[in-house]
């Protein structure tokens, strides 16, 4: 029997989820110069603001994964997005460097489960044979969030102010939460999913996967694994390079090359 493809709406919402996460991350990069001017920040202090997101991100990723295992990705997605969107909006309201540093840490706490939410949701909602395509499509949201987010934030700053850019981009997350919470649970409990498609998802969920013959290796077991160290090192280099450009490049273009905020975003 031919099944429908309503599950693709879940992947589309996860695509938007990725785009919003990276839109919120790039906002500080584009707004760095006016923030530094208003609070009289040195480049070192500005570096703290750029990197504080990742301090909390790395510390909370493993606990975030534990919450996903306990509550399910559909629940943690709403909670995490509410936390980071609140922190994003608060960035536009605070009146001191210390307060801004705190809310930026809050952004990192909220965004920490971002990747595990996406992968766990794909695991729940797609047959085994569709997972590569689904993850690739969802991952496009992160690069689109940067590509469109940087000029959009630049336009908001030049049109309104840097404070309003954070408030508006943070509010976008709450719009996403309203749609996600209203529509998405698990395939077993989602009423708008036709029975034939639900059965197709559930039947294909574990196809081709051999359950491990051992218990969980735990965090120490992962640290002892040579393959994991290959991932640690390669991902570390990738993230360092990516965030060097994402965080400092707009500020460099504005201060050293004298581009406007909008043009630096573009």
Residue 114, in any domain of the structure: yes
Question: What pLDDT is attached to residue 2?
Answer: 63
Residue 89: CA atoms inside 13 Å, Cβ hemisphere, count? 12
State which H helix or E strand residue 141 sits in. Answer: helix 131-159
Instruction: Confirm whether 252 is domain-assigned.
Output: yes
Q: What is the dihedral of CA 126, 17, 219, 216, to 10 degrees?
A: -20
Of the ranges 39-48, 137-146, 197-206, which one carries the lowest mean pLDDT score?
A: 197-206
Residue 87 CA to residue 189 CA, distance in Å, equals 31
Task: Give domain status of residue 209, yes or no.
Answer: no
Q: What is the pLDDT of residues 60-119, one digit of tens each?
A: 998 999 999 999 999 999 999 999 999 999 999 999 999 999 999 999 999 999 999 999
Burial (CB < 10 A; 0-12, 13-18, 19+), residue 158, is middle
Which tens digit of pLDDT belongs to each residue from 151-175?
A: 999 999 999 999 999 999 999 999 9
Q: Which domain holds residue 176?
A: 8-204+217-265
Could you tell me the pTM of the whole model? 0.89
Model confidence band, residue 244 (pLDDT cutoffs 50, 70, 90): confident
pLDDT tens-digit map of 185-194: 999 999 899 9
Residue 209 scores a pLDDT above 70: no
Instruction: Report the domain count for the chain.
Output: 1
Please indicate, yes or no, if residue 1 is contained in any of the structural domains: no
Q: What is the CATH number of the domain that holds 53?
A: 1.20.1250.20
Q: Is residue 3 part of a domain?
A: no
User: 92 burial class (0-12, 13-18, 19+ CB within 10 angstroms)?
Assistant: buried
- Domain annotation covers residue 46: yes
Tell me which residue of 173, 52, 53 sits closest to 108, measured CA to CA.
53
């Amino acid at each position: 029997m031919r099944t429908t493809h309503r599950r693709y709406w879940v992947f589309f919402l996860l695509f938007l989820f990725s785009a919003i996460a990276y839109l919120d991350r790039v906002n500080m990069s584009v707004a760095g110069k006016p923030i530094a001017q208003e609070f009289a920040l040195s480049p070192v202090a500005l570096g703290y603001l750029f990197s504080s997101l990742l301090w909390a991100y790395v510390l909370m990723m493993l606990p975030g994964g534990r919450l996903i295992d306990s509550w399910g990705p559909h629940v943690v997605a709403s909670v995490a997005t509410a936390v980071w969107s609140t922190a994003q909006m608060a960035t536009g309201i605070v009146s001191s460097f210390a307060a801004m540093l705190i809310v930026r840490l809050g952004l990192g706490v909220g965004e920490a489960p971002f990747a595990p939410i996406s992968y766990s949701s794909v695991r729940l909602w797609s047959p085994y044979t569709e997972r590569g395509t689904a993850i690739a499509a969802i991952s496009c949201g992160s690069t689109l969030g940067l590509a469109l987010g940087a000029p959009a934030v630049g336009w908001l700053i030049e049109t309104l102010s840097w404070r309003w850019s954070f408030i508006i981009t943070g509010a976008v997350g709450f719009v996403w939460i309203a749609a996600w919470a209203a529509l998405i649970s698990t395939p077993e409990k989602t009423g708008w999913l036709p029975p034939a498609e639900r059965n197709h998802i559930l039947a294909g969920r574990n196809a081709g996967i051999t359950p491990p013959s051992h218990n969980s290796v735990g965090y120490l077991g992962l640290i002892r694994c040579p393959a994991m160290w290959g991932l640690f090192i390669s991902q570390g280099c990738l993230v360092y390079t990516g965030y060097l450009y994402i965080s400092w490049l707009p500020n460099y273009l504005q201060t050293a090359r004298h581009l406007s905020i909008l043009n630096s975003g573009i």
